[in-house]
Amino acid sequence: MTVSRWIQLGVCVVAVLGATALLAHADEVNDYPTTARSEYVFGCLKANGETRQAIDQCSCSIDVIASLLPYDRYVTAETVLSMAQVRGNLGGQFRSSEQANSALNDLRRAQAEAEVRCF
């Protein structure tokens, strides 16, 4: 095999390894299911007027949140928000828990960053 063939082979191997690494990283960043992203955008549209501009801004917003907050942490925060509305002792546990407040604070920071970047 000639030197130029070895170089071509080396370039191909590096390209394949690089593409594989990029795909693995993309999977880590894009761990939010499509349904979760859709639900977020739908709620965001309801809150921000159902315009074309709002679609772009809301889509951007969930992308920023997903880049800053792992999906499992997002689910925890969303659960806390939902359960905190329950009256009585059960809802109180979600409103006063340090763990719940931490998850909510993480979500609120991500939402604030999304607001700055997208709106």
Residues 57 and 114 placed together within one structural domain of the fold? yes
Share of the chain above pLDDT 90, in %: 59
Enclosing domain of residue 11: 1-30
Summarize pLDDT for 69-87 with one digit per residue, the tens. Answer: 999 999 999 999 998 888 8
Summarize pLDDT for 53-63 with one digit per residue, the tens. Answer: 999 999 999 99
Q: Is the pLDDT of residue 16 over 60?
A: no
Residues 26 and 42 placed together within one structural domain of the fold? no
* Beta carbons within 10 angstroms of residue 80's beta carbon: 19
Tokens coding 44? 């965001």
Please tell me the number of Cα atoms within 13 Å of 25 on its side-chain side.
6
Residues 26 and 75 placed together within one structural domain of the fold? no
Please report which confidence band the pLDDT of residue 17 belongs to, taking 50, 70 and 90 as the band edges: very low
Residues 109 and 53 placed together within one structural domain of the fold? yes
- Chain mean pLDDT for the chain: 81
